[in-house]
Each structure stands twice: as C-alpha cells, then as structure tokens.
Amino acid sequence: MTANGNKPKFAMYWAASCGGCEIAVLNIHEKILDVDANFDVVFWPVAMDAKYKDVEAMEDDSILLTLFNGGIRNEENEHIAKLMRRKSKILVAFGSCACEGCIPGLANLSPVGDIVQTAFNTLTTDNPNQIYPRTSYDVPEGELQIPKLAPILRTLDQVVDVDYYMPGCPPESHQIAAVVDLVIKVVKGEAELPPKGAVIGVGDSTVCDECPRARNVKTIKYFKRIQDIAPVDPDLCLLEQGIPCNGPATRSGCDARCPGVGAQCIGCYGPAEGVVDYGARLITAFASVIDANEPEEIDRILDGIPDPAGQMYRFSLAGSQLKANRNAWAKEKA
C-alpha cells in the first residue's frame, strides 16, 4: 500500500461488527490490486497501522471513499463515524450492521445491564472475582478509559449522513468487485455516481426472484424448523414446505445463495426495494400464506415460530421503525 499524494484516498473502518465485511473485501481476490493501484489507502485498521489522530489531522473531505461497516454501539463508534463523515466525500454504509444493525443490533432486545451481565456473569463464564468492565480506571501512569456503551445500537445513518448503502452480511464479493470497478470508472471520468442515498451492489427485487426453487400457490398448515423436516424437498420453495424462509421480504443481490443450497433465507440483504420496515413486510408475507381462518388454528400454526421478533428482525431490528425492545432503554433510566 504505497503512499501517493495524487491518487484518491480510500478508507475502511469497522465499528460494532464481526470483521466479516473486511474478509469479504479481501475476497475480491486480485481486484484488491486494482484498489491499491487506483487508491491511496490511508486508513484501514484491520489491514494496516493507522492512528485516529492521523485521520483527525487530514483535511475535511480529503478521503474520496470510506466504506464504514459496523453499527454504532459505543462512544468510540460514534466519534469515528462523525470523524469519517467529516473527512470523506463519499461515505458508504457497508454491510448489514451499518445499514440496519444486523446481528449486533439484536442486542437491542436487551438492556445494556443485561448484556454486560450475560457477558461477565453467567454459568458459562469463568469470572470468580466478579470483575466487570468499568469505563475509567486509575493506574499509576494516569487514567485509563474505555468507551461507554450506548443504550441501543444505532445504524450509521441514525448518527451521520450516509451517501450510499451496501447491504449484506457480508456483501457478496462479486458485488463489492462491481462497486470497486464503478468507483474506479468514476475516478477516471468514465462513469457517473448513482444518486445519493442509493442502495448499491444489489438487485432491485427479492431473494425469491433469484431463487431456483419451484414456487406454487402457498398454503401453509404449519411452520417447522428446517432440521425438523426430513427430507427437505430439494426443488420446492422452502416456505411452501413450512420452513420460515425470509426470502419474500429480503433484497436480491446474493443470487439466493442460502435457499440455493437448502438453507432458508435469514434476511441478511435487508429490506427489499420499497420496503420501509423489514419485519412488517415479513409479517405480511407469512400471514398471507397461512392456510387458516380461525383464530385458534392461526395461533397453532404461528406457534411454529417460537421467536417472532428474532425471526422478523434478525438483521433489521436497529434499522426498523421500533428499533429496540422497550426494556432496552426503559431500564437505562434506573
């Protein structure tokens, strides 16, 4: 990664995320050399050594492209999100966490206190001295600080202005490669950027439209976990087989990878084009295909979905309209 003042600058940052997005970027194989050939990588904590103060010293808008993955869980995430916004011309919410909260966003179902308890004081945790993290600690050399957790995880666009969204957990590498190609063309003046706020590196339909499985009129008498159905028909729509597959609400762009290999879609590409609230759309989809008109029968069928909030908002809770469980911020008051 050579420094070159003439090349446009590129940055990538991870906030509350797992690191899978970075691996997906590296998975574009030799295309990564194009990134290096066309960009000066100035800040990418997972790949190179850089300090926050180096970024703070840069001029505003001096970074052309920043891919920001991860949700905003603590003070540090928020600080860097605002910093990268200031320093970047194009800020992309990269990956499901930054776009709609993803799995880290499921922590919005619990108050912060419960999260810390679960992490440091449950049967499976060996913590005999009951040591808990604290946000500041005095040592002989001075005061040490760690960032404070926010009551709930927020998506990137709930904290700063975002130019583009690129969903996926992680975004598919061929989609990343296509976006890299596009940006390079834009830099060379051969292409134009999509309109601000666009969702990039995706299809404009649902996973069902890319799914190779046969679809018929759906009449569902039960919902079951996929492991409880044997054998699973390899060619028939999973939802028709009673497996809660999130395809109908999920944006296309992944080539229906999961249903293609026999696993139900869990919704990592986020809400389909035009969908405001992912879970609401999925409720609509599931409820429409249940084959029952009596309340008792409907309830019996719905018992097959043991965790409706988790099923409907597995990847989209933080970015949904309700955003969190009521307890997640109610207990913060105490």
Binding site for other proteins (CB under 8 A): 109, 151-152, 154, 158-159, 276-277, 279-281, 283-284, 286-288, 290, 292-293, 295, 298-299, 302, 305, 307-310, 312-313, 320-330, 332-333
Q: Return the closest-CA partner of residue 271 out of 187, 179, 115, 167.
A: 167
The Cα-based distances of 244 to 16, 98, 305, 316 in angstroms read 28, 25, 8, 16
Query: Do residues 314 and 267 lie in contact, with contact meaning Cβ atoms separated by under 8 Å?
Result: yes
Question: CB of residue 113 vs other proteins: minimum separation in angstroms?
Answer: 14
Question: CB of residue 158 vs other proteins: minimum separation in angstroms?
Answer: 4
Question: CB of residue 265 vs other proteins: minimum separation in angstroms?
Answer: 18
What's the rounded Cα separation, in Å, for the pair 12 and 184? 16
Residue in the structure block whose two tokens are 């990847």: 315
CB nearer to other proteins: pick between 17 and 311: 311
CB nearer to other proteins: pick between 44 and 68: 68
CB nearer to other proteins: pick between 171 and 271: 271
Question: CB of residue 85 vs other proteins: minimum separation in angstroms?
Answer: 15
Question: CB of residue 157 vs other proteins: minimum separation in angstroms?
Answer: 8
Question: CB of residue 208 vs other proteins: minimum separation in angstroms?
Answer: 18
What's the rounded Cα separation, in Å, for the pair 75 and 48? 23
CB nearer to other proteins: pick between 237 and 249: 249
Question: CB of residue 151 vs other proteins: minimum separation in angstroms?
Answer: 5
**Rounded to an integer, what is the distance from CA 196 to the centroid of its chain?**
20
Query: Do residues 222 and 215 lie in contact, with contact meaning Cβ atoms separated by under 8 Å?
Result: no
Question: CB of residue 154 vs other proteins: minimum separation in angstroms?
Answer: 7
Reply yes or no: is the peptide bond before residue 212 cis, omega within 30 of 0: no
Retrieve residue 125's tokens.
């945790």
Q: Taking the CB of residue 228, how many other CB atoms lie within 10 A of it? A: 11
Residue 72, phi then psi, degrees to nearest 5: -105, 100
CB nearer to other proteins: pick between 217 and 276: 276
Residue in the structure block whose two tokens are 């991860």: 70
CB nearer to other proteins: pick between 256 and 318: 318
CB nearer to other proteins: pick between 20 and 279: 279
CB nearer to other proteins: pick between 157 and 163: 157
What's the rounded Cα separation, in Å, for the pair 161 and 142? 36
Residue 279, phi then psi, degrees to nearest 5: -60, -40
| 266: three-class secondary structure by DSSP | coil
**136-139 vs 88-94, strand pairing mode:** unpaired
